[in-house]
Structure 1
Amino acid sequence: MSEPKEFEDDLLYALTRTGEGFRAGQAEQADLVAGGYRRGRRRWRRRSTAAVVGGAAALALVGTGAVYLTGASGAKGAGTVSAASAPTTTAGAGPAATPTTVKSSAPTVITGDEVLATFQALLPKGETTDGKGRGTDDDRTGGTFVGADVVFDDGQGKSLVQIGIQKHRPNQGQPRSCPKDFKLARVDSCSVTTLPDGSQLMLQQGHEYSDGRADTKAWIASLSGPDGRDINLSEWNAPAEKGARDSRPNPPLTFDQLKAIVTDKSWDRTVAAVKFDGIDTDAIDPGLSLPDREAVLAGLLPPGVTVTDRSGSALTATFRLGQGQEAGSLVLRVENWAKSVDNPAQQAFKDAVVLPDGNKVLVLGGPDSKDKQPLRVTVLHPDGMEVVAAQGPTGRQLLTAEQLKAIATSPAWKAKK
């Protein structure tokens, strides 16, 4: 990743992504679930994509980056089955039966018990213990994730088996891919197949630790569907993901059995109930093209400072600036929250300075700040337009805090959609 791109991603995520990090309740949710879910997803990415060689940093879209269950015991909502109270059961034939697809005109609530029961019914014959489930009624994930895990024993040794389900908006899912270097990733086999319905299925056999500190094996089935479903199933040849002695030579489920579980139609009802994760970027797109934003910016720059180049996407752009022989840059993000149900204003701007015209202003970073991050000004306009103006990754700092503030607070920023 180039230095400017890495800077822009880090800046917009870690410092100015107010729309995601400060939505009511989301900060608390992140504290509770990030440790388990996101560590697992980072592990899955390292093993399952080409990023295993060069490293991955999908920071700017962290709200859309999928995470999956790697420790359902870490947080348990109402309706889940605790390890202490979960009964020992014997799973039935599971996939041999043809589940009935339940169609609903509106999303319903799926409890952790229901997710766990569906999962257990799809497992082959064997004994399951320590079952735990998380449903859409778990307020720690806001209905954007469900999952379950069990310790499964087919008579050949205990194995931890886990499943997690999320749902992504169009074009916000992560394409399935295998690592480029199997040896480096400690992957024995991996394949990605496009199914008749357009879903992508990845099947992978590898190890829990890519550095070889232990020989515990981890086998994965990962499905992404046209409706946004993201179903991830993992199994180990040990009764715990980490810190347990291997109990069998290989995990119990074959590739065919893994595929049967993640593609089973009995998950349709669950997928329908799961809320889309992340921010709906289409909903907050102000309809301002790069030329539109450059035209507005050019009229707001101080005398002598001009735009010399631009790059970016629908919401975020980096503008190269020039002033005589000096060069600098500006990162600009423009969003329209007027029609979005995810409007972050109440929480994100609770400590903002409110100007007489109703603009809410946050000034963060700068050379005197504790975090030593670039200076940025974030403004929420009364009409729902949010503008972030920040010092860019290249050249000198040509704009002062007051000049950035003048840019971000200008009434010239008007949505076209």
Structure 2
Amino acid sequence: MTPAGGYIGVQEWNSTGETGSPVTREQPPLALDRLKALAAAPELRAAADAMPVDHRLAAEPDTGPVTPGGSISATLSRLVPHGIKIVRKSGPDDDGFGYVVLGDGRGTSLVQVNVQPDMRDVEGELFGPDAKVLPDGTKVVTHRQPGEKGIPGIVWWSVDTIRPDGRRVVISAFNSGAQNTPATRETPALTMKQLEAFSTDPKWHPQG
């Protein structure tokens, strides 16, 4: 949010599209500091300030980090069940997107989380009539699909959620320690039920 009330958001993925496109690399191309520099560019601020103000956003500004606590990996680590080891994780500045690699003695498993503050503008595209709706209004969709092309045996499980306020949490798990390396196990270290519990946990939300 700029001082004049303009809103700038910059996002990137490790594929050619947000959904429905195969993964092409382990991590998105730009580091977090470069994304922040891009969002703060004077040219973008000038363009944002020239647009009509969304009074809904202006009335409820969100000046804090996307992830409560400011770290995806720290929040995710607190959710990992007892008995599963965290082999490695993204750094402390991974606000918005981060990962952990889990090990339970049966092979490593990459788990990624993406938190986006307000995605109501694309809610209809991402969450169709078949989406599960929880008692608090959160919508949930799940996906099981092959991983990156050319990598033997990779499977990709994901749970996509959006709350009534538009906050979206997407969690993905793989049966390998990276998206672009051969499978180390038959399925990811976390079940789909666990992934859904992770993605709907209050820890991802400011009031949590």
Shift in Å, 1:72: 6.4
Matched, 1:166 2:116: yes
- CA–CA distance in 1 between the matches of 2:159 and 2:104? 19
Q: Counterpart of 1:44 in 2: which secondary structure?
A: coil
Matched, 1:268 2:202: no
Query: Structure 2-normalised TM-score?
Result: 0.66
Residue segments in structure 2 that go unaligned for 5+ positions in a row:
1-5, 35-60
- CA–CA distance in 2 between the matches of 1:76 and 1:264? 24
- CA–CA distance in 1 between the matches of 2:102 and 2:207? 22
- CA–CA distance in 2 between the matches of 1:73 and 1:132? 15
Matched, 1:71 2:27: yes
Aligned match for 1:249, one of 177, 182, 186: 186
Match of 1:229 in 2: 167
One-letter identity of the residue aligned with 2:90: K
Residue segments in structure 1 that go unaligned for 5+ positions in a row:
1-23, 48-69, 79-104, 139-144, 179-190, 272-417
Shift in Å, 1:129: 2.6
Shift in Å, 1:194: 1.5
Matched, 1:259 2:196: yes
Match of 1:120 in 2: 77
Structure 1 runs (4+) greater than 4 angstroms displaced: 110-113
Shift in Å, 1:107: 4.0
- CA–CA distance in 2 between the matches of 1:44 and 1:130? 26
Residue deviations 1:246-275 (CA, integer Å, cap 9, x gap): 11111111111001101001111289xxxx
Shift in Å, 1:241: 0.7
Shift in Å, 1:134: 6.7
Shift in Å, 1:46: 4.4
Instruction: Provide closer, same or farther for how the CA distance between residues 134 and 192 of structure 1 changes in structure 2, counting only shifts above 3 A.
Output: farther
- CA–CA distance in 2 between the matches of 1:214 and 1:240? 12
- CA–CA distance in 2 between the matches of 1:122 and 1:72? 24
Shift in Å, 1:169: 5.3
Is the CA contact (8 Å cut-off) linking 1:116 and 1:149 kept in structure 2?
Answer: yes
- CA–CA distance in 2 between the matches of 1:261 and 1:221? 9
Residue deviations 1:6-55 (CA, integer Å, cap 9, x gap): xxxxxxxxxxxxxxxxxx9x7xx96xx64xx1626x263348xxxxxxxx
Matches within 5 A, 1:68-217: 71=27, 75-77=31-33, 107-109=63-65, 114-125=71-82, 126-133=84-91, 135=93, 146-168=96-118, 170-173=120-123, 174-177=125-128, 192-209=131-148, 214-217=152-155
Shift in Å, 1:195: 1.3
Mark the structure with the bigger radius of gyration.
Answer: 1
Aligned-pair Cα RMSD in Å: 3.6
Instruction: Provide closer, same or farther for how the CA distance between residues 154 and 106 of structure 1 changes in structure 2, counting only shifts above 3 A.
Output: same
Match of 1:218 in 2: 156
One-letter identity of the residue aligned with 1:128: I
Is the CA contact (8 Å cut-off) linking 2:97 and 2:113 kept in structure 1?
Answer: yes
Shift in Å, 1:204: 1.9
- CA–CA distance in 2 between the matches of 1:164 and 1:245? 23
Is the CA contact (8 Å cut-off) linking 1:238 and 1:247 kept in structure 2?
Answer: yes
Q: Percent identity between the aligned chains? A: 24
Q: Counterpart of 2:206 in 1: which secondary structure?
A: helix
Q: Counterpart of 1:261 in 2: which secondary structure?
A: helix
Q: Counterpart of 2:198 in 1: which secondary structure?
A: helix
Structure number with greater CO (CA < 8 Å, separation at least 6) is 2
Q: Counterpart of 1:45 in 2: which secondary structure?
A: coil
One-letter identity of the residue aligned with 1:265: P
One-letter identity of the residue aligned with 1:167: P
Q: Give the paired residue count.
A: 170
Is the CA contact (8 Å cut-off) linking 1:165 and 1:229 kept in structure 2?
Answer: yes
Is the CA contact (8 Å cut-off) linking 1:147 and 1:162 kept in structure 2?
Answer: yes
- CA–CA distance in 1 between the matches of 2:165 and 2:76? 20
- CA–CA distance in 1 between the matches of 2:73 and 2:207? 11
One-letter identity of the residue aligned with 1:200: K
One-letter identity of the residue aligned with 2:20: R
Is the CA contact (8 Å cut-off) linking 1:76 and 1:134 kept in structure 2?
Answer: no
Match of 1:45 in 2: 20
Matches within 5 A, 1:51-62: none
Query: Structure 1-normalised TM-score?
Result: 0.35
